[in-house]
Each structure stands twice: as C-alpha cells, then as structure tokens.
Amino acid sequence: MAHLFEPLQLRAITLKNRIVVSPMCEYSSEDGFANDWHLVHLGSRAVGGAGLIITEATAVSPEGRISPQDLGIWKEEHLPMLLRITQFIKSQGAVPGMQLAHAGRKASTCRPWEGHKAVPEDQGGWTVYAPSAIPFNDVYPLPVALTKEGIKKVIQDFATATERAIRAGFEVIELHGAHGYLMHNFLSPLSNQRTDEYGGSFENRIRLAVEITEAVRAVLPPQFPLFMRLSATDWADGGWTPEESVKLASILKEKGVDLIDTSTGGLAAHQKIQVGPLYQVPFAEKIRKEANIPTGAVGMITTPQEAESIIAEGKADLVIMARELLRDPYFPLRAAHDLQYDDMPWPVQYVRAKRTKLK
C-alpha cells in the first residue's frame, strides 16, 4: 500500500488519504461572499481525490482581509454559499476545512495581478492593524498598533468565525499564524516591538496565538480537529526561529491544536529564502519530532514520488499541496496510478477514464 493513501484519523475525523488542498487565495469575492468560482475551484479538487480541502485564508472581519476581494465569514449572510460548497465536498468523500485569518499589517492591499501595494482610500482601502506601527515595506499601509480592546475584538472575531464555520459544514479549522499576517506579526520580534504583555519575551509574543487558540478550541466541537499554520522561520536575522516554532508547537498541542501546517517566511521583505524542491519539509520534520505533534509539509512538492517519500519516511503526516493542485486538480488520481495503488476510489462519472496497473 502506498503510504500516501493511508487514512489518517484526527479526533473523530478520518481523512481518506494524506493529500491536502492547501489554502490558496483566489481574490475573487465581493464583500467576502463565496461564489461559483469557489464552488468549482474547491469542488473540482474534491472530485480529484484529495482527502482534505481547505479554503483560502478566510477573513474573520472586514479589516482582516488581505485584499477587498478576499473570502470572508464575518456575517451570517456568508453561510448559505459556504454550506453549498461543503455539502458538495462531502459528497465526494473529502473533508472540508476552513482557514481563518486576519491579515494584520498586510491588509488593505491590492490583488497580486494588480500590483503589491496599498489599496487607496478612495478605492475602498481601510485602516490596518498590527502589534506595532511598522509597515511590511514602503508601499504597504502603515499599520496602527492594536489596543488591548482591539486585541480582545480579534480574539472574539476568531471564536465567532469558528462557530459560523461549523454551521457552514466545515469539519477542520485551521488558524493562520504564518506568512506575515496578524498572529505572525505578534510572534516575530521584527514586527512586534510592544512593551506590554503582548511584546518582548517569547511568552509575551506568543500570547495572542495562544489566546486565539484557547478561544477557538472552547467553541469548536471536540470531535473536530484544529490546525495551526506557522511560518517556522522568518529567513531573516533577528526574526522568528525554528526553535521557537518547536516551543510554540508544544504549547499549542497542550491547548488542543492537533496538527501544525508548517510553512516558512512571508514576514520580512528582506527575507532570504533558500528555495528548492521540498525546501520546507525539514521544518515539518523538526517540529513533528521535537514537539511530538503531527505536521503537514508544504513547498514545491510536485511529484507523487516526492509526496510518498514525505509520508513513508516519517517527515510529516500530511502533504499539503498548492501549485501542483492548481496545475492538476486530479493529482491524487494520477498519483495513485503512478504509485500503483489500485484501490483509489474514482467518481463513478469518470471511471471509464481510469487506467489500471499494467500487468
């Protein structure tokens, strides 16, 4: 049996295989609403055989959006279309997950194809919040430092969004603590220069991530898993480190997090990333072994053999894929064929196209 196609149980939820559709921003919403694009984008990857389908970064508040076109879950009216999407995902034997996010100092920015820059006020730009008034770079918005009341609101927004996500049919919740967004802003000394209980020491810088985790776990039904996406390193001197990621992962495990989705970077404009095939996998392996918590591996994983090796060699528990699944929504079906795994279920509508193992 190919290890990539072994089921994985997390709490009461069983994933049929280890292939996960990574959260990928589509920048295709209006006022946070999901639409037919999201149904087709997420639904086609469920048809393609992935075990877990995670939405793009979904804003817990309007000010928490990266761009004006981000998906959102800050109001009840967002739920009907999301429920339609989760029902379809489940009908294909996959599990629907939602990544909840607040963009922090990277909020109110244009979509990538419109240029990485701040959204002008006369075009709908809004006030951006972060731990400290330090912009990401000279063309991003200057953030306002969150007050204590503002921090309390963020925590409550995540909890309320979790309750809505469950009512919309999602069965896995992932908290976005990576890529230079709000929780990551608090974690890294490069973006957090507060002098109160939310800044300075490691214990203070992780406080927001821990408090959001506690608030979300308190309202998340116990049968549903909770993930946290972390950038394991800032790839910049003086920033967040892999060792701190291990320490935080151990704490999050005690607070009810079930898996660390292990990415890197995104916080510092001057980051120097050593990019290459599987370049982020060692961070997932380190956290898995040293914090004794399941992990997901990401980053330039493009072939069935690479994905299989990650699971078979115990480097991570899930393979969380993005660009390869944009290129090929049916990658899991192809991977099963390439790895000579004959028991991969196909949609009955597509069975006539299935290629069996050569004798």
| Residues known to be catalytic | 181
Cβ atoms of 58 and 96 within 8 Å: the answer is no
| 3-state secondary structure (DSSP) of residue 309 | helix
Q: How far is CA 8 from CA 17, 228, 294, in A?
A: 7, 17, 11
Residue in this structure with the two tokens 């330039």, named with its chain if needed? 300
Cβ atoms of 202 and 188 within 8 Å: the answer is no
> What's the burial of 246, exposed, middle or buried (CB within 10 Å: 0-12/13-18/19+)?
buried
Q: Please, which residues have CB within 8 angstroms of residue 20's CB and are 6 or more apart in sequence?
A: 50, 51, 52, 53, 54, 296, 318, 319, 320, 321
Residue in this structure with the two tokens 């404009």, named with its chain if needed? 269
**What's the token pair of residue 263?**
């990415």
Residue in this structure with the two tokens 């220069």, named with its chain if needed? 193
CA distance 355 to 335: 12
Q: Please, which residues have CB within 8 angstroms of residue 235's CB and are 6 or more apart in sequence?
A: 264, 265, 268, 271, 272, 273, 274
**What's the token pair of residue 198?**
């939310």
CA distance 321 to 355: 23
